[in-house]
Structure 1
Amino acid sequence: MESVSIGARLASSIVAPLVKKLFVTDGPGAGLVDRPVRVSDLVSFRGEKRALGNAELRKIAEELVERAAQSTGTSERLPAFEQHAVVNAVAHSLGSLGHLDMDDIQAVQLGYLGLSRHLRAGNQAATLGLSSDAVLLHANVMDTACLHILHFFTTRSTFVPRTLVEQSRRIEELSSKIDLLILRTPSPADGGFEERYARYISRKYGKLTIFGLDLPEASGLWPLDAAYLSLEATGTTAGDMPVVLPAEQVLSGRDRVLLRGVAGSGKTTLVQWLALSAARNGLDERTLYLHGLVPFVLPMRSLTRAGARLPTPDEFLAAVGCPIAHAQPTGWYDRVLTAGRGLMLIDGIDEMPEAEREDARSWLRDLIDAYPKNRWLVTSRPSAVREHWLACEEFSELDLAPMSRDDVAAFIKRWHHAAGSADAYGKELLYAVRAKQELARLATNPLMCALICALHRDRRGYLPDGRKELYDAALSMLLSRRDRERGIYRTGDMRIGETHQVQLIQKLAYWLIRNGRSEMDATDVLDLLSRALTAMPRVAEQGTVEQIYRYLLVRSGLLLEPVEGTMQFIHRTFQDYLGARAAVESLDFDFLGGNAHLDQWEDVIRMAVAHARPAERTRLLTGLITHGDASKDARHRLHLLAAACLDDATELDPAVRTEVQHRAEKLIPPRSVAQARGLADVGPVVLELLQGPENLTPDEAYFTVLTAVRIGTDAAIPVLTRFRTVNDLRVRTELALAWSRFDTDRYGEEVIAYLHEEDLFFVISSSRELRTLHRFGGRSFLRITSPLSPEEIQRSCVQDRLTRLCIAADLRCSWEWLAWFSRLTELTLEAPVPEVDVSSLRRVLSLRTLRLPAAARVVGAEQLPPTVKILRAS
């Protein structure tokens, strides 16, 4: 018995008047007071406009059922009690209109069959135990009634005007998006040059040099698409609550960002990736906010080469050696920046001499004052600029987080795949990184991970333990073993031994450090090498100084030529390492100590301690203590630096070690983010000194946890365990965020399981974490940061416990499955996507609050019931 046949036999002249009695009538107009009126406010059998009692409602149901039963012959087959039961069921289902959380537009969009199923679903018990004919009769009567109900809605005087208004709103929103795209479209006069410039950016930044990776015929270059690993950026909101977001989204919803990261953390790689994404002008959802922007990559090491003044906008391309700078149309830069189409990527403020950074800030301020509508990213090492350095220019401040265990695993897998190494090598290395605390502590950024991967493959599984030993082995591999084992030497070729190469290259490194530079003119290189070669006759006799320089540039693997006529190291870390070695060999300990308060010298000092002999270490560290005691302004920095050096001091006078630790203890507990960051840089030795939570203020407890989390190895878990019962929300939030950095099961059992749940979102970054949390009975507030499937979330979340859910990953799905969670009242969608379709959330009847990204276009909001409050992220 089909509903179509029943509907045909129930004439509209009979059904329409009955359905009309269920609703009140409105006057003319668009019905736009507050929000669209809910269906539940239109019915005539409840509320202030009640005109229909329960008895009248049952009579309507009785007449509908009787007419349908007679016209189809069902009445002859149904016992009287079943027909009465169907009448009750229809009455209850029609009564559900009074509780419907949708307006008439949403009901029409749902369709009459969908509305019928929705109403019947709320009264399934009414047909339990009835025959199939009775159940089918109930369904068919409701289908027919809903068909006429929707027809009635479309004939109401407010329906068409309000529908047009909703359409106008969506057209206006779409129009604003189109206007933005038009604003980001170059003028016809500039289009040709911008296409040419985009191709140049794509070629220049489309590949990345990865340490130790020798791809055939590729000079060690790795396609950026394959090399890029999405890391996390962290910071705090105005209320000091931690925030975590993908690093490539730091400029999504933010126009100005100062991003800090330690050496090798991926700052420059991120800059390349943003520039490449903007130049491609594609439709990748992660980078749609960059659509139409023109990237200007401004590495400070190049802009300030040889003490040059900082460039004006018309000089940007020429200052970075762009070969098509001369071809830019007159006034092009001004049109781009005035329209707000510039993506300003200012990389490496820390690579300028400290005395010149205030000039750089003034330069930056002038640019922003002249062209305020663009997006600005400034990168720096953490200690190079103080907290809130650009706060007056309205910059948000974020930190690149250390790589998590999952990040390290992903990098190792990609590196070995790109290198063509056997899977067994990658699996063996991953096991070693997880099993050895010392190795895990080193593998916290892309540079160190790449170095470890290269050495593991080169040495067939053998890895040195400490950082100095890793760098020594890396230099050996780069300077001699690689060329020798690849068999590229021929009779008569120039051949400079590893020791001599190191001696020459470290002189270049020390010159750069002493002069506060990251790049060196070729003329200065040749002059320095010429003087050095007078003491190295066996090397000098192999060729001219120009030939020896070219040999070092091509064969060492440590140097590169960013533009013709300049030289720099492949990474600042190698420059600092070799420069420190030269300083120790020159016995320049007083010079080192005199510059220790400068942030550019921090890594140099640490590596000098590693290179030094025991008596020399004593001299260096004693000097740091003495200078720190005598300096009020630099005391904390120098004492923290001395403590950090302990990790590199393999042999040291116990009395000196005690003095250093004593000074460090005075900086504990940390009382700011900067102090927490500085203590974390000291390394695991700090864990033994961290106090609490007893006798700590809430701020001190939070910064102590932040310190231990940033250290990041499993050795920090016992410290964090002590804080698991602290009630401060900042502490609990930081502990929850840190789960992915530690062993899932151990951290879950020792920390996560004990966290007080009030107002706390438990962060889930993997299926394993979700399953572990399920073992603990689930939690009410969850924040999902990885693209898990809806089935996984349903299977591993406790159905009647979840009340607030934040999804910070693009699950690429609709949302009706969330109806499974009957107590879910608040949903936050944070995925960086250009468009969010929320129409399927109308099925999540418990939902009351929906938070959406500020920049995303929202589709289907008009289909949500008025009980759902929609909020936009600020």
Structure 2
Amino acid sequence: MEPALIGTRLASAAIGPLLKKLLVSDAPGAGLTGTAPKVRLSGLVSFRGEKRTLTEKDVRRLATTLVERSGSGPGETPFPADETGAVTDTLAATLLALGDLDMDDVQAVRMGHQDLARRLRAAAPAPDGLSTDSVLYLESMTEWACLHILEFFTQRPTFVARGLVEQTRGQAELIAKMDEVIRRTPRIDGRDAEFERRYLAHLAKKHGRLTIYGIDLHETPDRWPLDMAYLSLEATGREDALPFDEEAAHVAWQRDPAPLRADLALTRHDRILLRGLAGSGKTTLVQWLTVSAAAEGQPEGMAYLRGRIPFVLPLRTLTRHGERLPSPDLFLATAGCPLTPPDGWADRVLAAGRGLVLVDGIDEIPEGERARARDWLRGLLDTYDGNRWLVTSRPTAVRDDWLAGDGFTELTLSPMTRTEVTTFVHRWHRAAGPDAAPFEQPLLDALRTTEHVAQLATNPLMCGLICALHRDRRGYLPRGRKALYEAALSLLLARRDRERDMGTPYGITLDEAPQIQLIQRLAYWLTRNGRTQMDRDHAKAIVTEALPAVQEAAAHPPETVFTHLLHRSGLLREPAADTVEFVHRTFQDYLAAKALVDSWDIGVLVEHATDDQWEDVIRMAVGHARPRECAEILRELLTAAAGSQDRRARLRLVTLAATALDHATEVAPEVRDEVLARAAEVIPPRTPHEARELAAVGRLVLDLLPGPEGLGDAEAQMAVTTATHVASDAAIPYLARFAGHPALLVRSQLVWGWSRFDPDQYAEEVIAGLAPDGLAYTVATDEQAAALVRLGLRPGYLDIREGIGEHGLALLRPLLPGVERLRVIGVVTGRRVLGALSALRLPRMIALELEVGLADPPFRLIADLFPRLHRLVLHAGPGARWDVAPLAPLHELGRLYVPARAEVTGTEHLPPQVRVATS
């Protein structure tokens, strides 16, 4: 039956008196002088309290009459006749729920009859086994009943008076809130506002383009719009996920933050130390945050940066000569910004808490200067509160708790997943133009089927080089990292200008070998001195000194040779007028390693083995070394490890030797066995950090990992953690051996590792064999959602991550009514999930963990969707101000976790048993 027809039947004069029996009447006045300033609905219904005039049986008889009268008359019946009793019982229960709503009549009228009906349906038991027609009838019937009830409320003598009082109170609260907003909003004078407009435009232009290596051939530009090239990667805390514990979900979150989009991490934490390997995208992330803050219209999910003023502070530039780190008034000048701000502008921005301070590259300054950099940072933190801070570093540049005492959350950029690699490859070929299109699918096939290629594609830099070389070599890719770099150097040094028909713009032509010999001298000096930048004059002097020994280049003037290397090699650039640096730190490490091996400075390598800036240099030196040199480097590393009393230093040296094996062109079998034997001594690892260190060894570590037989639960968890970080599908058979493990932490780690491997193979061999007891199934892609459905799994705990699309949500939707605990990571994903659930009611859902925005969380929708919710965990960045009163209908709610720095009101409306704590 159409709702309009039901309304026509309900609008008769006989219906109104029936519904009016549900309510009591009172005397004129505003109701302000009684024992309570407000009268709740439970005091207005006639079937509650000491002076009740209706019993619950009377309410059921009233419901029976309503059902009979709405079903009488011409036309079709609204529902099947055999469901009349069930429909009547459900309608009676819904009307009785009117006494359970924690609100007064003024609030009910303000809400409207449709929202009131939704609240009633949420507070009443869900209809079970009714047909679609019956459910639709009950929805329409409840709305018409609520329309009559609200009409009665407005006719009560006290309503108008109390409504005026409520309106006055609301206006007073609004005025107070506006006063507080005005008080907190910084006053920006005209000069500051005009400068900020120019400054943000400068940042958007300077950082709005990104170099994608290798696509600068065949008349294509070498810099592309950032919004086309940027790929949002995941950042994690400790990746070993914990189960969704009944009482400690918030503790698990704090100790083991779930992976989230790196560019959204500052929505949850206002101070972050972000670690990442060379080429993992740290500096690109800094660019993206800068441009997102500077743009007039923020990209999806980035609105939290609106109104923020970015300060981009690359430490390699600020301390090029060991200078004292700058105070805020010198931030722009020392970072190379040509604009001159009004006096005191930076201080005013930071004092108002409007800053976005991006300190890039702790690892790019010498180790001896890092403590001084931390003191400088602490001084800024102590002086300026309320800003957002991001500090980047290579993983081992500073110890784990380096900034923990200053309130920083430590996150690590994760290696690219298969889905992210696919996305990058697609974007690269789109940016490279139509000539590259035929090579896209063959490369994707190679990444899926050729292990040595997939192992290299772990970060944006390496993916870019692979794409460029694959196209340039028409489908052929070199094997191994050393061969990949050699091919990349050939592409940049020799073929780049030839392919672009550049001729000789500086009057000279040099082959690859002499260019490498000269440029590696610069790399050697930078690495030996712990720098990534040097003065232009110093760089020219180094090239001039080396020229006599390089026969092909010696005939040309030093100034001409240096200019050619700087502008045509593709390896060097000038970030400022008097400064030279490599286009990427990886090329500096590679060429420094070659210079060290060429001069047989093995002792220098081993001397710096515990210096994080030298890790990649040592690995690449093993790749450059001849067999005798290779053996000497590896054995010296093992000797240094044996002499160390510090387990962590010993593990680091042994791991360094083991990971270097993969770079070696030729190594004696006895040396290889010696290195692997020493690596086996630190297996299984003791901590997640050690597990990740060992995983860097690559697939070789799989042959050393034990189990699952004979391992305790903690040992099994660390072994699985190691294997899930090995970037090779060869780990899947090993991990499948643990699928039947009883320990929940082991099974949770196996689920976490799903996104790192082929989704279908991993699902068939690992996910399908997991015991579901207490296990949260993590779904981050549409492919994983499809596999979950295909395997027939019905998870009780579900963890939905950023990255899932509309198709994946549609696949999961039929599973959601059976889910008891749901975790949704990501602001954007949270909105999509709640939207997908909007037509459902999930009475089994008892725990929900949700990422929300800073304003207007969907509390009312949550209350409607999850009527039996026991625990709600909410996450948002600092500055959230929430009214939680719409959660009042959740009568079974026991725990509400809110962000530590959120301002929460309306808790007095929550059920009395609710404990509000910080997440």
* TM-score, length of structure 2 as denominator length: 0.84
Q: Which amino acid aligns with 2:437?
A: D
Q: Offset of 1:142 from its aligned partner?
A: 7.0
Aligned to 2:597: 584
Q: Offset of 1:230 from its aligned partner?
A: 0.7
Following superposition of structure 1 onto structure 2, how do residues 319-358 of structure 1 map, counting pairs within 5 Å? 319-324=334-339, 327-358=340-371
C-alpha contact (below 8 Å) 2:782/2:805 kept by paired residues: yes
Find out whether 1:823 has 2:823 as its counterpart.
no
Give SS of 1:711's match: coil
C-alpha contact (below 8 Å) 2:631/2:668 kept by paired residues: yes
| Pair 731,281 (structure 1): closer, same or farther in 2 beyond 3 Å | farther
C-alpha contact (below 8 Å) 1:208/1:223 kept by paired residues: yes
| Pair 287,492 (structure 1): closer, same or farther in 2 beyond 3 Å | closer
| Pair 13,377 (structure 1): closer, same or farther in 2 beyond 3 Å | closer
Give SS of 1:806's match: strand
CA distance in 2, matches of 1:436, 1:14: 77
Give SS of 2:491's match: helix
Q: Offset of 1:536 from its aligned partner?
A: 2.8
C-alpha contact (below 8 Å) 1:837/1:858 kept by paired residues: no
| Pair 88,449 (structure 1): closer, same or farther in 2 beyond 3 Å | closer
Q: 1:854 aligns with which of 867, 876, 881?
A: 876
C-alpha contact (below 8 Å) 1:838/1:858 kept by paired residues: no
Q: 2:779 aligns with which of 761, 764, 769?
A: 764
> Relative to structure 2, which stretch is displaced further, 835-844 or 604-613?
835-844
> Relative to structure 2, which stretch is displaced further, 518-527 or 98-107?
98-107
Give SS of 1:93's match: helix
Structure 1: runs of 5+ lacking an equivalent: none
C-alpha contact (below 8 Å) 1:211/1:454 kept by paired residues: yes
Following superposition of structure 1 onto structure 2, how do residues 534-545 of structure 1 map, counting pairs within 5 Å? 534-542=548-556, 544-545=557-558
Q: Which amino acid aligns with 1:211?
A: Y
CA distance in 2, matches of 1:783, 1:111: 35
C-alpha contact (below 8 Å) 1:412/1:430 kept by paired residues: yes
Aligned to 1:434: 448
C-alpha contact (below 8 Å) 1:212/1:451 kept by paired residues: yes
Q: Offset of 1:677 from its aligned partner?
A: 2.7
Q: 1:369 aligns with which of 382, 390, 393?
A: 382
Aligned to 1:480: 494
Aligned to 1:872: 898
CA distance in 1, matches of 2:66, 2:29: 25
Q: Which amino acid aligns with 1:466?
A: G
Give SS of 1:651's match: coil
Q: 2:798 aligns with which of 777, 782, 794?
A: 782
> Relative to structure 2, which stretch is displaced further, 761-770 or 304-313?
304-313
Aligned to 2:716: 701
Q: Offset of 1:386 from its aligned partner?
A: 1.1
Aligned to 1:97: 95
Find out whether 1:551 has 2:569 as its counterpart.
no
Deviations 1:44-93 (A, max 9, x none): 33676654235544665677789x69xx9x689999xx999989966862
Number of residue equivalences: 859
Q: Offset of 1:154 from its aligned partner?
A: 4.2
CA distance in 2, matches of 1:63, 1:820: 27
Q: 1:808 aligns with which of 822, 825, 837?
A: 825
C-alpha contact (below 8 Å) 1:24/1:44 kept by paired residues: no
CA distance in 2, matches of 1:862, 1:114: 11
Following superposition of structure 1 onto structure 2, how do residues 396-475 of structure 1 map, counting pairs within 5 Å? 396-420=409-433, 421-475=435-489
| Pair 177,805 (structure 1): closer, same or farther in 2 beyond 3 Å | farther
Give SS of 1:252's match: helix
CA distance in 2, matches of 1:443, 1:261: 15
Aligned to 1:560: 573
CA distance in 2, matches of 1:226, 1:279: 17
CA distance in 2, matches of 1:844, 1:23: 35
Q: Offset of 1:520 from its aligned partner?
A: 1.2
Aligned to 2:670: 655
CA distance in 1, matches of 2:806, 2:848: 17
Deviations 1:825-849 (A, max 9, x none): 3333215575433433454264414
Find out whether 1:182 has 2:180 as its counterpart.
no
Aligned to 1:504: 518
Structure 2: runs of 5+ lacking an equivalent: 239-251, 900-918
Give SS of 1:534's match: helix
Following superposition of structure 1 onto structure 2, how do residues 105-144 of structure 1 map, counting pairs within 5 Å? 108=109, 111-112=112-113
Q: Offset of 1:251 from its aligned partner?
A: 1.5
CA distance in 2, matches of 1:227, 1:375: 25
Q: Offset of 1:335 from its aligned partner?
A: 1.1
CA distance in 2, matches of 1:644, 1:129: 62
Q: Offset of 1:116 from its aligned partner?
A: 7.0
Aligned to 1:18: 21
CA distance in 2, matches of 1:593, 1:367: 37
C-alpha contact (below 8 Å) 1:837/1:860 kept by paired residues: no
Aligned to 2:393: 380
Q: Offset of 1:389 from its aligned partner?
A: 1.1
C-alpha contact (below 8 Å) 2:361/2:393 kept by paired residues: yes
Give SS of 1:717's match: helix
* TM-score, length of structure 1 as denominator length: 0.88
| Pair 143,440 (structure 1): closer, same or farther in 2 beyond 3 Å | closer
Find out whether 1:669 has 2:684 as its counterpart.
yes
Aligned to 1:210: 212
Following superposition of structure 1 onto structure 2, how do residues 151-190 of structure 1 map, counting pairs within 5 Å? 151-154=151-154, 157=158, 160=163, 164=167, 171=174, 175=178, 178-179=181-182, 182-183=185-186, 186-190=188-192
C-alpha contact (below 8 Å) 1:285/1:833 kept by paired residues: no
Q: Offset of 1:578 from its aligned partner?
A: 0.7
| Pair 108,88 (structure 1): closer, same or farther in 2 beyond 3 Å | farther
Give SS of 2:848's match: strand
> Relative to structure 2, which stretch is displaced further, 753-762 or 407-416?
753-762
Aligned to 2:241: none
Following superposition of structure 1 onto structure 2, how do residues 596-675 of structure 1 map, counting pairs within 5 Å? 596-633=609-646, 634-675=649-690
CA distance in 2, matches of 1:710, 1:155: 68
CA distance in 2, matches of 1:145, 1:379: 60
C-alpha contact (below 8 Å) 1:154/1:160 kept by paired residues: no
Q: Offset of 1:595 from its aligned partner?
A: 1.7
Give SS of 1:408's match: helix
Q: Which amino acid aligns with 2:447?
A: V
Aligned to 1:28: 31
Q: Which amino acid aligns with 1:213?
A: I
C-alpha contact (below 8 Å) 1:680/1:707 kept by paired residues: yes
Q: Percent identity?
A: 44
C-alpha contact (below 8 Å) 1:232/1:245 kept by paired residues: yes
CA distance in 2, matches of 1:35, 1:456: 73
Q: Offset of 1:379 from its aligned partner?
A: 0.8
C-alpha contact (below 8 Å) 1:254/1:396 kept by paired residues: yes
Find out whether 1:710 has 2:725 as its counterpart.
yes
CA distance in 2, matches of 1:755, 1:832: 34
Give SS of 2:237's match: strand
Q: Offset of 1:17 from its aligned partner?
A: 4.8
Aligned to 1:52: 54
| Pair 730,338 (structure 1): closer, same or farther in 2 beyond 3 Å | farther
CA distance in 2, matches of 1:429, 1:187: 55
> Relative to structure 2, which stretch is displaced further, 773-782 or 573-582?
773-782
> Relative to structure 2, which stretch is displaced further, 851-860 or 384-393?
851-860
CA distance in 1, matches of 2:506, 2:193: 53
Q: Which amino acid aligns with 1:692?
A: G
Q: 2:279 aligns with which of 264, 275, 283?
A: 264
Aligned to 2:705: 690
CA distance in 2, matches of 1:169, 1:405: 55
